[in-house]
Amino acid sequence: MFLVFCVLLAALAFEFINGFHDTANSIATVVSTKVLSPRQAVMMAATFDLVGALMGTAVATTIGRGLVATQYVTLTTILCALLSAVFWGLFTWYLGLPSSSSHALIGGLCGATLASSGGDWSAIKWSVYNPLTHHMEGLWHKVVAPMIVSPVFGLIAGFLLMGLLIFLLRRWTPHMVNMTFGKLQILSASYMGFSHGTNDAQKTMGIIALSLYTATEAGVFNNLPSWLDFLRAPEFEVKTWIKILCAVTMSCGTACGGWRIIATLGHKMVTLKPIHGFAAETTAASVIQIASHLGIPLSTTHIISASIMGVGATKRFSAVKWGIVERMLWAWVLTLPVTALIGYILTRLLQ
């Protein structure tokens, strides 16, 4: 039982860190354009994160049983995966780099499961056919391919949407554009916060549901007092209390803010005005909503960053500070392999 509570504590710590690490995804643009103060923006993001987190379980199911073979997963495996993700989240936050908490968790889970299986690579579901949905699933289809495609799509879509707005509003005065989109950006930032909640909070829900299922199968709860029966899970299920717990934890993390990353996304990468913020947030939130519906644990960090790049490039190509972008790309590329390696080493050490 002690290990179960350690896993739950680590999962909630990851969710909290995810909240303040990814606050910038929702509010960097609305802060940098001075539409809202940092405090107002953080509270708005926390509220919509909470609402979004309660919607759906498709992504949670992918994380819990769609990426690794559950017969190799133990509580130790899950704990090491979470510790790996927490370490990477804090490390990149300290550096002010908007890395993916989602990919950190997935990398840690894959590396830890590989160690638990004794190095059996078949423990990682790389590409499998699901006869129920008639779709291909697994790490390649749900994580790696979207990791490559979604930022490119976000960059192009952000560029096109911004280009369309420039064309449609070419006769408007700058004052009218700023005044109108200053109000509309509050809506787009709320939409972004909601989308972040629907995708990111579900990842920890999936991990907790997997932990309870694993503990039940291992007989950890055989002598459980009746008042703790809610912990039992004879099958993989994202229960309502798990949703609420993760939603509240992420929203609390969001309320604490992530100012280092806000500075990188909202100020250092490209200079934004309200219309640019609206275009970037609307593009990113729409892509995330589609991914959440399909059960794809998308990196909200990657997609909003790419959307900001696309929007910024409509000014001129040099408007995007590509040196900052290069640092971010290294963090993106390294997240999966580094966290997988950390998860693997931690699991082997505890074994």
Burial label for 334, CB within 10 Å (0-12, 13-18, 19+), is middle
* pLDDT at residue number 318: 62
Measure the CA–CA gap between 55 and 275, rounded to whole angstroms: 29
Measure the CA–CA gap between 266 and 321, rounded to whole angstroms: 12
Torsion of CA 287, 290, 292, 293, to 10 degrees: 180
What pTM was computed for the model? 0.83
* pLDDT at residue number 7: 92
Measure the CA–CA gap between 146 and 155, rounded to whole angstroms: 14
Burial label for 291, CB within 10 Å (0-12, 13-18, 19+), is buried
The number of beta carbons lying within 10 Å of the beta carbon of residue 230 is: 12
Per domain, the residue ranges of the chain are 2-350
* pLDDT at residue number 265: 53
* pLDDT at residue number 329: 73
* pLDDT at residue number 334: 86
* pLDDT at residue number 107: 94
What is the token pair recorded at 238? Answer: 């994202």
Tell me the C-alpha to C-alpha distance, in Å, between residue 127 and each of 40, 67, 137, 142, 271.
Answer: 43, 9, 6, 9, 41
One digit per residue, the tens of pLDDT, for the chain of length 351 reads: 788 889 999 999 988 888 777 666 667 777 777 788 777 877 888 888 888 888 877 888 888 878 898 889 999 999 999 999 999 888 887 777 767 788 899 999 999 999 999 999 999 999 887 777 677 788 888 888 888 888 889 989 999 999 999 999 988 998 899 889 988 988 998 998 899 888 887 888 889 998 998 888 888 888 888 888 888 888 888 888 998 898 888 888 877 765 555 555 544 555 678 898 899 989 999 999 998 888 888 888 788 888 888 888 887 766 566 666 666 677 778 889 999 999 999 999 988
